[in-house]
């Protein structure tokens, strides 16, 4: 193992498997670890997501997301081991669009699809390429859902994550370091939805009664990014 300037890394033992080093690129293997981690996280968070959606929605977000994760895992299993990251991410998007009900299916389907379409089609993505793709995926979701930052939706997690990713990738952060910052921004954005009044989606029908509850879509979006961060750090 060598560091970026070609100097051997003294902390890397001769026998240390590459998978234990933080990821420098988004490749097919990292996409698979991401979605496996996400499936596990969503199962663990299913009751909490349902509870959050029960407060300001229709209590189906937990089951919708775990169903989507199972479909995404099944879709990945249909692809060869050497399939490129871009294609795998797009396949996840298709499976979510097909399997997840409510508004979150099309929105997450669109996010993953746009992310996959924006990644390099064959080669593993660099931190900057992933940051650019996160921006494109955000744009696609905003185009579909017409939500702005502060509307108390998944955009409140995805937008700060994309902005931070772009910023730190631009200042030379590696992929894993960039994802730590981006996932942190997504989590902060999700928590910041608590006092907000919903202006999009089913929760907006509640008006002022939507205040004081964390948005379930922003919460699951933060989980999506934290699962990627965790997979990249592994
Ligand atoms: Mg719902």
pLDDT digits (tens, 9 = 90+) for 64-107: 999 999 999 999 999 999 999 999 999 999 999 999 888 889 99
Q: Does domain 23-233 have CATH number 3.40.50.300?
A: no
Distance between Cα 114 and ligand 1 center (Å): 23
Distance between Cα 10 and ligand 1 center (Å): 50
Q: Assess whether pLDDT exceeds 70 at residue 158.
A: yes
Distance between Cα 55 and ligand 1 center (Å): 10
Distance between Cα 63 and ligand 1 center (Å): 9
Distance between Cα 183 and ligand 1 center (Å): 23
Task: Give the pLDDT score at 147.
Answer: 93
Distance between Cα 59 and ligand 1 center (Å): 5
Distance between Cα 199 and ligand 1 center (Å): 15
Distance between Cα 14 and ligand 1 center (Å): 50
Query: CA–CA distance from 15 to each of 9, 11, 12, 18, 23 (Å)?
Result: 13, 11, 8, 9, 18
Count Cα neighbours of 204 within 13 Å in the Cβ-side half-sphere. 8
Structure tokens given for 27 = 């490749």
Task: Give the pLDDT score at 2.
Answer: 40
Element housing 163 (H / E): helix 155-170
Task: Give the pLDDT score at 10.
Answer: 46
Structure tokens given for 67 = 């169903």
As a whole number of angstroms, the distance between CA 138 and CA 161 comes to 9
Report the chain's mean pLDDT, rounded to a whole number: 92
Shortest CA distance to 140 belongs to which of 123, 122, 116? 116
Could you tell me which residues come within 8 angstroms of residue 176 by beta carbon, excluding any fewer than 6 positions away?
22, 23, 24, 229, 232, 233
């Amino acid at each position: 193992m060598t560091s970026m300037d070609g100097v051997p890394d003294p902390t890397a033992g001769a026998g240390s498997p590459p998978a234990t080093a933080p990821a420098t690129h988004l490749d097919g293997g990292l996409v698979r670890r991401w979605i496996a981690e996400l499936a596990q996280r969503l199962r663990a968070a299913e009751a909490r997501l349902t509870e959050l959606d029960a407060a300001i929605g229709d209590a189906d977000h937990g089951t919708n997301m775990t169903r989507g994760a199972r479909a995404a895992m099944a879709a990945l299993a249909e692809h060869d081991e050497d399939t490129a990251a871009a294609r795998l991410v797009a396949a996840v998007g298709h499976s979510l669009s097909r399997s997840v009900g409510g508004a979150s299916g099309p929105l997450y389907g669109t996010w993953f699809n746009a992310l996959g379409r924006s990644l390099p089609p064959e080669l593993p993505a660099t931190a900057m390429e992933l940051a650019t793709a996160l921006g494109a995926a955000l744009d696609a979701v905003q185009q579909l859902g017409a939500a702005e930052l502060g509307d108390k939706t998944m955009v409140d997690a995805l937008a700060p994550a994309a902005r931070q990713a772009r910023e730190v990738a631009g200042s030379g952060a590696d992929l894993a370091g960039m994802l730590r910052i981006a996932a942190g921004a997504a989590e902060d954005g999700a928590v910041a939805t608590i006092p907000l009044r919903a202006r999009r989606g089913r929760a907006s029908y509640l008006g002022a009664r939507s205040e004081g509850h964390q948005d379930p879509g922003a919460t699951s979006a933060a989980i999506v990014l934290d699962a990627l961060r965790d997979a990249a750090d592994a």
